[in-house]
Structure formats: structure tokens, C-alpha cells
Amino acid sequence: MKKRWILSSLFALLLLSACGGKQPVTQDNGPIDEMSEVNKKKQKEKESFEMYALDTNDAEAWMRLEPGKYSEKERDSEAIKKEIEAWPEGLSAEEYFARLMALTADDYRPYQTFIDETEVIFSAITDQPDGLNAPGDAGDAPLLHTQILLDASGSMAGRLDGKTKMQLAKEAVAEFVSGLPENTLVSLRVYGHKGSNQPAGKEESCAKTEEIYQLSGYEQQAFSEALNRFEPTGFTPLARAIEEGGQDLLAAAVDNPNVKSVMYVVSDGEETCGGDPVEAARQIQESEIEAVVNIIGFDIESHERAALEAIASAGNGKYFHADTGKQLRDSFRKETTELINAWYTWDSKNVNTFYTEEADYLNASYTHESKGVNQSYSEETFLVNLTREMEEIRADIPWRQIRPLIQDRARGMRVHMKDHFRDIRVEARETARQLRIQVRDKARDERIDLREQQRSQ
């Protein structure tokens, strides 16, 4: 009986235990949520430290890294020390170093940005005084079109210095075109060489101008033959000559829009065919080629001078006055002398520009280098001193092993900055030097050629 009671009691206890195991469990998520937040925070901190776990020899990576929590601008020694005091124990020197950088690393990105974005580019050499573009800009393309409009009206048969004015003008023109710059095309158009200087021949004389040497490179024999094909004959259709000469220049510029067009008009008198040479000069000057119209008044009456000066003014050119054959030649030679002086000005202007731009690159690179290097020294000193102070507070941290990491990083960044800023200066100096040599050599050679031409004339 007693045995049966014991078995019944055991069965009841087992039944209660089984039923108790099926009771619903009430879950308290509070501690679990708190643990999750702690883990997230730790993971975030780990990621921030890992960003600073760089090789101390990778200077460029350090230069590109964003600053630490207490960088130079926000440096707070006491706050930094408190954070260090809370660091966990047992980490390696490299791990502690990464944490230190996450707190204190300075911002060197502006210096790296300057290195990345600085391109050593100098201003283009300005157009040359002879109207050509800078050396090498357009290969062998003709960049200067020079057109001579020569008065062959009857009055050019008058005599000066034992020769006709026509002969003197032809000699002066031949001398002038023989000294034109390379890559220049020249044209010769005559007017007043048809009809006669009598009323009966006026209509024919005023209706015709002729390009007797088409725009092309200068060839002495062909040009001389062209000059010998006409003699002084009729009236002075000056406006028509400028208009038709302008059409020649416009047509020639279609395939070479950067060409400089210059017109020289030799005349011993004003318009006698009823045209408006001032308006003709203005139109060609205001056209897309902006041709310059220069006037050489040869043995003209004083009352006619103003009319010719007005043409030069409308054509944005110059007026030259010549009463003798020598003065006529000197008028053309004056252009050569002015060109020699212009080469001096061109030389000086470009060389000074390159010196100024070189100095800008040098000064900017020196300034950035000085600031960056000094900042690195200051940061290194601060960190080394900080580690010495912390040796008494956190003696468990291997500060003696951390200091070499601080010094290696700082030294590497200084070398990086010095090398790259020096490279910028070297490139700027060499580029500027080559440009100055190019300009000076070109200007000197042109002046020598022009002086030789003057001596041979």
C-alpha cells in the first residue's frame, strides 16, 4: 500500500512538471536591446578607428584622410586625455596609434588638393608684331596677307629726282615687299592705268582696277614683271581700288579666318572718280577680316592731304607723307623700323608675363609647403609630448612603441609635401625658361633679319 502511494506521488509530480514546462514565457527585451546598442556603438567606434589604421609610410593616404575629433582647430588636451583614459586595455601599439589619430589627426587635405589640382599652364605667347600668331601655332599656313594698291593715274608721270613718280613708287614697292615676313602672301593691284586722263577716257579709267600680282608668296622675278606691265595713264578710282582690293582679301580669308589683312595704298592725289574711299576703307576695316588700310601720300597737294588722312583713319591705319623718292622709300622703311621696335616690345611683354606667372606658381607652392610642413612639426611635437604625459596616467599602454609611429607618419608627410611642391616649382621654372628662350630667340632673329634688310636697301 505504501509502495503504491509513493508511485502515485511520483506520477503526480511528473505530471505537474510537464504541465509547468508548457507555461508561456514572458520575454523582457530591455537588456537585449541595450546590448544591441552597445554592440552597434562598439562597431561604429571600431570602424572609425580602422579608418586611421593606415601604414605610417603611406603619406598620401594620410594627406587625404579627414581630420580627427580633436584636430588642430579643435584641439583640447584635457578632453583628449579623458578619452584616452577610457581606452580598453590589452591593445597593440598600432591599435592604440589608430585610436590616437582618430582623436588628434590634423587636416592636410588642402595641401593635397593643391598638389592634385595644380597644373602648370602659362599664358599663350601673344600674336607677333608682324601679324603672325605665336610660333608653331599654325604650321606653314600664311597668316599675313599684304596688298599693295598702286596709283597709276596720269599724274604719276610727273618727275621727281630725275625719275617719274611712277618709277620711284615701283622701286619703293619692290623694296618693301622683298622684306616682308615669311608666311606672308602679297598682292599688287593697280588703278588708273586704263583709259586716259582726258574726259573721253574717264569712264574707262574709273571703271577698271586690276590685280596684276595675285595674292601669293613673293617671287622677285614675277613681281618685277608685274610692275613693268603698266604705266601712268588716267584718273584716280581710289574708292573702287579699295573696294575690289577688300574683296580679294575677304575671299582669301575664307579658308584662313585667323589671317591678318593689311592694305598699303600709294597715291599722289585724292579720289577723282566720284567714289567714297573713306566709306570703302571703313567697310573693309569693319568686315570680318578687320583689314587695316594704310595710306602713303606721295607728292600730294596740301589741300588733298586731309582727304587721304581720313581714309587711313577710317581704315584704322596710318598715314605716311612723302614728297621725294627717298621719303617714299623711308615711309616703307619706317614700317620696318617700327616693326623692329615692336619686336622689342613683344619680347619684353611676353618675357615679363612668364616671369610673373612663374613667380605665382613658386610663391603659392612655397606658401603651401611652409604651412603644411610647419603644421606637421607642430602636430608631431604635440603628440609626442602628449604620450609622455600619458605614461603616468595609462602606464599599461605601450607609448614607447607608439611614438616612433607618430614620428614616421609626420616625417613621411613632410617628405611627400616637399617632393610634390618642389616638382611644381621645377616644372614652373623649366616651362617659363623654355618659353622665354623661345620668345627671345624669335625676337632676336626677326630683328637681325629686319636690320639686314634695311642695310641692303
Q: Express as a percent the part of the chain with pLDDT over 70.
A: 86
Per-residue model confidence (pLDDT) at position 452: 76
Average of per-residue pLDDT across 426-441: 96
Q: What is the pLDDT of residues 364-420, one digit of tens each?
A: 999 999 999 999 999 999 999 999 999 999 999 999 999 999 999 999 999 999 999
* Secondary structure class of 322 (helix, strand, coil): strand
Per-residue model confidence (pLDDT) at position 136: 46
Per-residue model confidence (pLDDT) at position 50: 85
Domain shared by 242 and 152, yes or no: yes
113 φ, ψ (degrees, to nearest 5) = -60, -40
Three cell numbers at 442?
624669335
* Number of alpha carbons in the 13 Å side-chain half-sphere of residue 430: 6
Domain annotation covers residue 352: yes
Domain annotation covers residue 334: no
| Least trusted range by pLDDT, from 44-53, 107-116, 414-423 | 44-53
Domain shared by 183 and 105, yes or no: no
Domain shared by 241 and 166, yes or no: yes
Average of per-residue pLDDT across 428-436: 96
Domain shared by 317 and 371, yes or no: no
CA distance 152 to 298: 12
Domain annotation covers residue 396: yes
| Least trusted range by pLDDT, from 62-71, 72-81, 180-189, 444-453 | 444-453
Three cell numbers at 264?
598699303
Per-residue model confidence (pLDDT) at position 26: 46
Per-residue model confidence (pLDDT) at position 186: 94
Amino acid type, 339:
L
Per-residue model confidence (pLDDT) at position 303: 85
Domain shared by 297 and 409, yes or no: no
Give the count of beta carbons closer than 10 Å to the beta carbon of residue 32: 9
Parallel/antiparallel/unpaired status of strands 184-191 and 163-164:
unpaired
Q: Express as a percent the part of the chain with pLDDT over 90.
A: 65
N-terminal to C-terminal alpha carbon distance within the chain: 156
Average of per-residue pLDDT across 116-135: 81
Average of per-residue pLDDT across 268-279: 94
Q: Can you say how many angstroms the Cα of residue 81 is from the centroid of all Cα atoms in its chain?
A: 52
Per-residue model confidence (pLDDT) at position 14: 37
Does residue 47 surpass a pLDDT of 90? no
Parallel/antiparallel/unpaired status of strands 144-151 and 184-191:
parallel
Three cell numbers at 52?
586611421
Average pLDDT, the chain: 86
Cβ pair 210, 248 in contact under 8 A:
no
Does residue 131 surpass a pLDDT of 70? no
The total of structural domains in the chain comes to 2
Per-residue model confidence (pLDDT) at position 11: 41
* Number of alpha carbons in the 13 Å side-chain half-sphere of residue 376: 25
Q: Which of 280, 295, 323 is the last residue of a domain?
A: 323
| Least trusted range by pLDDT, from 1-5, 86-90, 283-287, 297-301 | 1-5
CA distance 315 to 388: 82
Average of per-residue pLDDT across 113-122: 97
Domain shared by 93 and 188, yes or no: no
Q: Can you say how many angstroms the Cα of residue 184 is from the centroid of all Cα atoms in its chain?
A: 27
Q: What is the pLDDT of residues 225-243, one digit of tens each?
A: 999 999 999 999 999 999 9
Q: For residue 298, what are the domain limits? A: 143-323
Per-residue model confidence (pLDDT) at position 327: 81
Per-residue model confidence (pLDDT) at position 447: 84
Cβ pair 431, 122 in contact under 8 A:
yes
Domain shared by 103 and 198, yes or no: no
Residue 280 pLDDT class (50, 70, 90 cuts):
very high
Written as one string, the DSSP assignment of 17-59 is HHHHHTSPPPP--HHHHHHHHHHHHHHHHHHHHHHT---TT-H
Segment (H or E) for 331: helix 325-393
Cα–Cα nearest to 294, from 350, 339, 346: 339
Written as one string, the DSSP assignment of 88-151 is PSS--HHHHHHHHHHHH----HHHHHHHHH----PPPPPPPTTS--STTSSTT---EEEEEEEE
Residue 7 pLDDT class (50, 70, 90 cuts):
very low
CA distance 262 to 219: 19
* Number of alpha carbons in the 13 Å side-chain half-sphere of residue 443: 23
Domain shared by 111 and 80, yes or no: yes
Average of per-residue pLDDT across 231-258: 91
Per-residue model confidence (pLDDT) at position 273: 96
Residue 448 pLDDT class (50, 70, 90 cuts):
confident
**Cβ partners under 8 Å of residue 164, min gap 6:** 156, 157, 158, 232
Domain annotation covers residue 8: no
Average of per-residue pLDDT across 357-361: 96
Residue 2 pLDDT class (50, 70, 90 cuts):
very low
Sheet with 292-298: list strands edge to edge. Answer: 209-216, 184-191, 144-151, 260-267, 292-298, 319-322
* Secondary structure class of 158 (helix, strand, coil): coil
Per-residue model confidence (pLDDT) at position 17: 44
Domain shared by 305 and 183, yes or no: yes
Cα–Cα nearest to 247, from 283, 207, 296, 205: 283
Domain shared by 169 and 316, yes or no: yes
Q: Which of 323, 352, 383 is the last residue of a domain?
A: 323
* Number of alpha carbons in the 13 Å side-chain half-sphere of residue 48: 17
Domain annotation covers residue 1: no
Cβ pair 108, 62 in contact under 8 A:
yes
Amino acid type, 420:
H
Average of per-residue pLDDT across 128-137: 58
Domain shared by 190 and 308, yes or no: yes
| Least trusted range by pLDDT, from 180-184, 260-264, 387-391 | 180-184
Cβ pair 235, 268 in contact under 8 A:
no
Q: Can you say how many angstroms the Cα of residue 216 is from the centroid of all Cα atoms in its chain?
A: 33
Domain annotation covers residue 40: no
Domain shared by 166 and 278, yes or no: yes
Per-residue model confidence (pLDDT) at position 258: 76
For residue 235, the domain's CATH number is 3.40.50.410
Average of per-residue pLDDT across 245-255: 91
CA distance 215 to 28: 101
CA distance 208 to 216: 22
Q: Which of 289, 323, 357 is the last residue of a domain?
A: 323
Residue 142 pLDDT class (50, 70, 90 cuts):
low
CA distance 176 to 146: 11
Range 80-104 burial, b when 16+ CB lie within 10 A, else e: beebbeebeeebebbbbbbbbbbbb
